[in-house]
Amino acid sequence: MVIEQKEPGISAPDEVLLRILDVGICGTDWEICTFEYGTPPPGDDYLVIGHEALAEVVATGSAVERLQPGDLVVPSVRRPCPHPGCLACRSGHQDYCYTGDFTERGIKEAHGYMTEYVVEQERYLNLVPPGLRESAVLTEPLTVAEKALAQVSWMMRQRPPWLDPATPGEERGRGLSAVVLGVGPVGLLGAMVMASAGFTTWVYSRELPPSPRIDLVTAIGATYVSSQATTFADLAEQVGNIDLIYEAAGHSHFALEALRWLGTNGIFVLTGVPGVQAFREADPARLMRQMVLNNQILLGTVNAGPTAFASALHNLELFSQTWPATVRSLIAGRYPPESAPELILGRPSGVKSVVAF
């Protein structure tokens, strides 16, 4: 539903008035709009959605130092909880909030960015190079993979494959395999991150060819395998030891099945936030035995802090140079705000739909 709101204004010295340019639509918006997820701010009976935004600075408060009118910025999503004892939020790492009382713009108890103007504190804004005007709306979903890879790389230094800390970024995954589950935006961006870090990358999802999404996988040098044509067992045989599984399908049954095929010393990263899904029986003893005897890691990760935003912006520039056509075609189209309900609730066409103001 489109509503009229009062135009916001700067009321504190560290605030920035932004004009929203692009807002990406994602699965979380669908969950919010089908009332499975999301909460309005206290006292409001509606939530302005939108959390993947690109905006232009219109005006700055007197204490703002890094930004000036005309700059492009991408805001982060999470805001800290108020509890003095929350080690994560008090140190600027609200993506690791202990209390659960954080807010998320456009998702949890704070209005989002699908509106013409917003006010935001400078510290939550990431400066975007002007050359990324067309693609920077992909920054926020890309931070999911950036944060995951940063954690994976750190672990790979402390345990097998004992990655040398001096290894250049593009060689971190050399000789290792990564299987990405899901071919939506988070999956595709995840595949780009893994492939550009040197992993031999596979993408496994339901979709059958021909499909533009599968073409994107191939264009970045990864291999696509459809779960409708190939079982996990056959996939695992093709890949060999699966060093990394990056789950981006949000499907709990698929994820649980994939976990069985994780390789020795492998890391399994979960990024999906599934809604209610059918109950499924599992064999926890077998899983436990497998995970213990193979030193496996199961890592859940939610985006994202300033470092992940910085590396997402860095990688977007790199991807735009390495795979220009692919980056362009990740954006399915730009549509007026009135189309948002249809874009969110209808069947997704292409990869990332963007509402442009």
Nearer to ligand BGC, 67 or 273 (CB): 273
Nearer to ligand BGC, 140 or 207 (CB): 140
**Nearest Cα residue to 147 out of 356, 284, 28, 312:** 312
Structural contact between residues 74 and 67, judged by C-beta atoms closer than 8 angstroms: no
Token digits of residue 166: 């001096």
Nearer to ligand BGC, 29 or 122 (CB): 29
Nearer to ligand BGC, 24 or 173 (CB): 24
- Distances in Å between the Cα of 161 and the Cα atoms of 132, 165, 309, 316 are 35, 12, 27, 27
| Cβ partners under 8 Å of residue 303, min gap 6 | 77, 95, 140, 143, 144, 147
CB of 137 to ligand BGC, least distance (A): 12
CB of 97 to ligand BGC, least distance (A): 10
Phi, psi angles (nearest 5°) of residue 185: -55, -45
Nearer to ligand BGC, 32 or 128 (CB): 32
CB of 50 to ligand BGC, least distance (A): 11
CB of 76 to ligand BGC, least distance (A): 8
Question: Beta-carbon neighbour count of residue 237 at 10 Å?
Answer: 11
Residue nearest to ligand BGC (CB): 28
CB of 68 to ligand BGC, least distance (A): 27
CB of 302 to ligand BGC, least distance (A): 5
Measured between alpha carbons, how far is 189 from 170 in angstroms, rounded to an integer? Answer: 15
Residues near ligand BGC (CB under 6 A) are 26, 28, 51, 77-78, 104, 107, 140, 273, 302-303
For residue 149, the one-letter residue type is: L
Nearer to ligand BGC, 26 or 110 (CB): 26
Largest Cα–Cα separation, the chain: 61
